[in-house]
Amino acid sequence: MSEQQKNSELAAAKEAWLEKVKKSLEKHPESKVFKTDSDYEIERVYDALDLESLDYREQLNWPGEYPYTRGIQPTMYRGRFWTMRQYAGFGSAEETNERFRYLLEQGQTGLSVAFDLPTQIGYDSDHPLARGEVGKVGVAIDSLADMEILMDQIPLDKVSTSMTINSPAAVLLAMYMAVAEKQGITMEQLNGTIQNDILKEYVARGTYIFPPRESMRIIVDIFAYAGKMIPNWNTISISGYHIREAGSTAVQEVAFTLGNAIAYVEAAVAAGLEVDQFAPRLSFFFNAHSNFFEEIAKFRAARRIWARLMKERFGAKNPRSMMLRFHTQTAGSTLTAQQPDVNLMRVAYQALSAVLGGTQSLHTNSRDEALALPSEQSVLLALRTQQVIGYEIGVTDTVDPLGGSYFIEKLTDQIESDILNYIDKIDEIGGAVEAIEKGFIQKEIQASAYRYQKEIESQERVVVGVNRFTISGEQPIDLLKMDPATSQRQVERLKEVRLSRNQAKVAETLQELRRVAQGSDNLMPAIFEAVKAYATLGEICGVLRDVFGEYQQQIMI
């Protein structure tokens, strides 16, 4: 029997089945219209007819083979688990160093540094705008002296370190390299990631400093410099995570991330870099939200689109340029302040979707993060959640276990097609930078965020403990208390550093940085020299602020 005959027989059989369903519906009507978070209407059931046009080699292929829909490595977690990497950092470099060493002892396999907001925005801890923020959402790093303490007794040749740093990424990377140099570790041995993704800061995360054009120059300089000097470093982590947290749908998350990625690749190519020189070091960062199957399909669709973009649009030849490698974090915005222990369940399912979606690295949120920074006990439970998924429940025993599922494949196709539509729209506007300057991306995210909130308030979307199954008179749980003296100690150390260094050397390196910034040479060597002379983050960013100017946010509601 031919394929076609088979399918028409199947279609006829389905018609007969649907007749039966009609009767059943009369007795037991379905409760609502079912939709994914991106608003796809979900069918009652999926079957072979949905995959009629599926071409296995073309759309899926084996893991480790183009277009990598099923995963980027041939053996995936059978060879090695994802990196269990908890984002951590608070207070001083000493306190964070202690938490890092604790996490490594507990079996964590990589570090992820959270910096405080003054550090992320290029202000020293004694800057007036740093008031109240020093050491709050992350660790305060003012100079190389702090980075030396942060990485004390941590073997930088064995541990990979991810740093969530964007506008001042070049400075923090230079500090990390300087510490490695002091530890006697060669640059080839360094493994890690800087987030370095400015475009999403303008639309979703807010820690921008410089205007887009100047920011793009810094990023491309880092690509070029790191490609030569620290070949195993991920020079950027192009992030959908924060776009999703800001309220986008799953489709928008990937579409806007890939739109930004295209802008970075184009900028680097325009600056004269060969695509296969820098593209293998591009990495990504996505959100694992609550709509389980849609999230899995999203990760698979993202891999397929990126592979084709790199090959077809940018002419990449090196397969590593086509592989979308990504870190995942569970969705902070889904955590509830009410009945916070319930968050453990949310995080576990979200983490499972990331693993079933083939992530390379994972952060699981802690149950108390809608209330405060996580306590050590909560962070441990979050890490244990990953270990249960990896070691106990067998979901890693075969690669892409949901591949071929009628529903998952159909959803992967739908998501892919809608992401491509968005990418076309961004291209029409003139690329991601233009789309951001015109406010297109911001408006799209905002509309989705508002819709989501309205759905919760109308109870169309159930949030357990918030709009259903609520309890009153909840018992408070123990939260992390910050040491209020941290900020003062940090400011004192900063003063000591400023007094004890060679001032002439600092002035000279900052002057050289200014000269380079005004011209077009690569900024990194000058930043590296300034860092090694113990110029502070605020001083270095101050020079760049002078030369490049500052970004002014467009306000729209």
Partner 1 sequence: MSNKPVRVLVGKIGLDGHDRGAKVVAQALRDAGMEVIYTGLRQTPEQIVETALQEDVQVIGLSILSGAHMQLIPPVVEMLREQESSDIIVLIGGIIPRDDIAYLKEHGVAEVFTPGSSTVDIVNFIKNKLELN
Residues within the interface to partner 1 (CB under 8 A): 117-118, 120-121, 128-133, 136-137, 201, 205-207, 245-247, 333, 335-338, 369-373, 446, 449-450, 453, 456-457, 463, 465-467, 476, 479, 482, 553, 555, 557
Q: Please state the closest distance from residue 533 (CB atom) to partner 1, in A.
A: 27
CB of 137 vs partner 1, minimal distance in Å: 5
Count, residues in the chain: 557
Residue closer to partner 1, measured from CB, 2 or 475: 475
Q: How far is the CB of 147 from partner 1 (least distance, A)?
A: 21
Spatial neighbors of 498 by CB under 8 A, at least 6 apart, are: 536
Residue 523 CB, nearest approach to partner 1 (Å):
24
**Taking the complex as a whole, how short is the minimal distance between the CB of residue 450 and partner 1, in angstroms?**
5
Instruction: Tell how strand 326-330 and strand 282-288 pair up.
Output: parallel
22 burial (CB, 10 Å; 0-12 / 13-18 / 19+) is exposed
- Name, in order, each residue with C-beta under 8 angstroms of 413's C-beta and a sequence gap of 6 or more: 59, 301
> How near is the Cβ of 184 to partner 1 at its closest, in Å?
36
Up-side HSE of residue 408: CA atoms within 13 Å toward CB? 20
Give the nearer residue to partner 1 in terms of CB position, either 117 or 305. Answer: 117
Radius of gyration of the chain (CA): 24
Nearer to partner 1, 403 or 465 (CB): 465
Nearer to partner 1 among residue 104 and residue 137 (C-beta) = 137
Cβ-contact 373, 93 below 8 angstroms: no
Q: Which is nearer to partner 1, 1 or 556 (CB)?
A: 556
Are 402 and 362 spatial neighbours (Cβ–Cβ below 8 Å)? no
Which run of H or E residues covers position 320? helix 319-322
Quote the least distance from Cβ 386 to partner 1, whole Å. Answer: 24
Nearer of residues 127 and 532 to partner 1, judged by Cβ: 127
- 3-class state of residue 397 by DSSP: coil
Q: How far is the CB of 214 from partner 1 (least distance, A)?
A: 19
Write the CB contacts of 531 (distance below 8 Å, at least 6 apart in sequence).
143, 144, 171, 174, 175, 178, 540
CB of 64 or CB of 439, closer to partner 1: 439
Q: Which two tokens stand for residue 354?
A: 């990331």
Closest listed residue to residue 221, CA positions, set 178, 174, 170: 170
Least separation in angstroms between residue 240's CB and partner 1 is: 15
Buried/exposed 37-55: b ≥16 CB within 10 Å, e otherwise: bbebebeeebbeebbeebe
Smallest distance from partner 1 to CB 194, Å: 18
| Residue closer to partner 1, measured from CB, 500 or 554 | 554
Cβ of residue 122: shortest distance to partner 1, in angstroms?
11
Strand 233-234 with 110-114, pairing:
unpaired
The alpha helices in 38-155, defined as continuous H runs, are: 93-105, 117-120, 144-150
Which one, 229 or 479, has the nearer CB to partner 1?
479
Quote the tokens at residue 314: 């940018």
Closer residue to partner 1, CB minimum distance, 227 or 374? 374
Q: Could you tell me if 285 and 326 are in contact, meaning their C-beta atoms sit under 8 angstroms apart?
A: yes
Work out how close the CB of 479 gets to partner 1 at its nearest, in angstroms, rounded to a whole number: 6
Measure the CA–CA gap between 24 and 29, rounded to whole angstroms. Answer: 8
Min separation Cβ 439 and partner 1, Å: 13
Cβ distance 130 to 124 under 8 Å? yes
* Choice between 377 and 446, CB closer to partner 1: 446
**With respect to partner 1, which residue has the nearer C-beta, 160 or 207?**
207
Which residue in this structure is represented by tokens 């986008």? Answer: 248
Residue 449 phi, psi dihedral angles, 5° rounding: -65, -40
Is the Cβ of residue 136 or residue 303 nearer to partner 1 in the bound state? Answer: 136
Instruction: Give the long-range contacts of residues 148-152, CB within 8 A, separation 24 or more.
Output: 148/179, 148/182, 149/92, 149/93, 149/94, 149/97, 150/93, 150/96, 150/97, 150/100, 150/113, 151/97, 151/176, 151/179, 151/183, 152/97
Sheet holding 361-363, edge to edge: 83-84, 361-363, 326-330, 282-288, 236-239
**What 8-state DSSP symbol labels residue 115?**
B
Smaller CB distance to partner 1: residue 63 or 340? Answer: 340
Closest distance to partner 1 from the beta carbon of 158 (Å): 32
Give yes or no for a cis peptide into 67 (omega within 30° of 0).
Answer: yes
